[in-house]
């Protein structure tokens, strides 16, 4: 493999990693919006424990992925 091929592979990997990181960021933003929706729903009617548990589990998974990809935080320390 030549130096150019290695650089090309490295840039491709970096690009793919950034794309995955962006998807994770977008998912976290969607979870934040879902959280707002759930808070609103809680004001309107009772929310089930399953809905809260599901949201927590998804959020924990995304946080783990977010840390694994070592991307910069977009929502501060509250993610």
What's the pLDDT score for residue 55? 81
Say whether pLDDT at 65 is over 70.
Answer: yes
Place of tokens 């729903």: 41
Asked, for residue 41, whether it belongs to a domain, the answer is: yes
Cα distances (Å, whole numbers) of residue 42 to 22, 58, 75:
30, 19, 23
pLDDT in tens, 4-57: 554 455 667 777 788 888 888 888 888 887 877 776 766 666 667 777 788 888
Cβ atoms 21, 71 nearer than 8 A: yes
Residue of 37, 38, 22 lying closest to 74 (CA atoms): 22
Q: How many domains does the chain have?
A: 1
What's the pLDDT score for residue 56? 82
Cβ atoms 24, 71 nearer than 8 A: yes
Asked, for residue 19, whether it belongs to a domain, the answer is: yes
Asked, for residue 77, whether it belongs to a domain, the answer is: no
What's the pLDDT score for residue 52? 75
Q: Determine the structural domain holding residue 38 and report its residue range.
A: 3-72
With bands split at pLDDT 50, 70 and 90, how would you rate the model's confidence at 67? confident
């Amino acid at each position: 493999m030549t130096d150019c091929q290695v650089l090309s592979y490295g840039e491709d990997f970096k690009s793919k990693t950034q794309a995955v990181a962006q998807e994770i960021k977008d998912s976290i933003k969607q979870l934040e919006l879902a959280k707002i929706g759930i808070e609103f729903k809680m004001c309107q009617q009772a929310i089930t424990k399953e809905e809260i548990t599901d949201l927590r589990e998804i959020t924990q998974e995304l946080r783990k992925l977010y840390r694994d990809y070592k991307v910069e935080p977009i929502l501060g320390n509250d993610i």
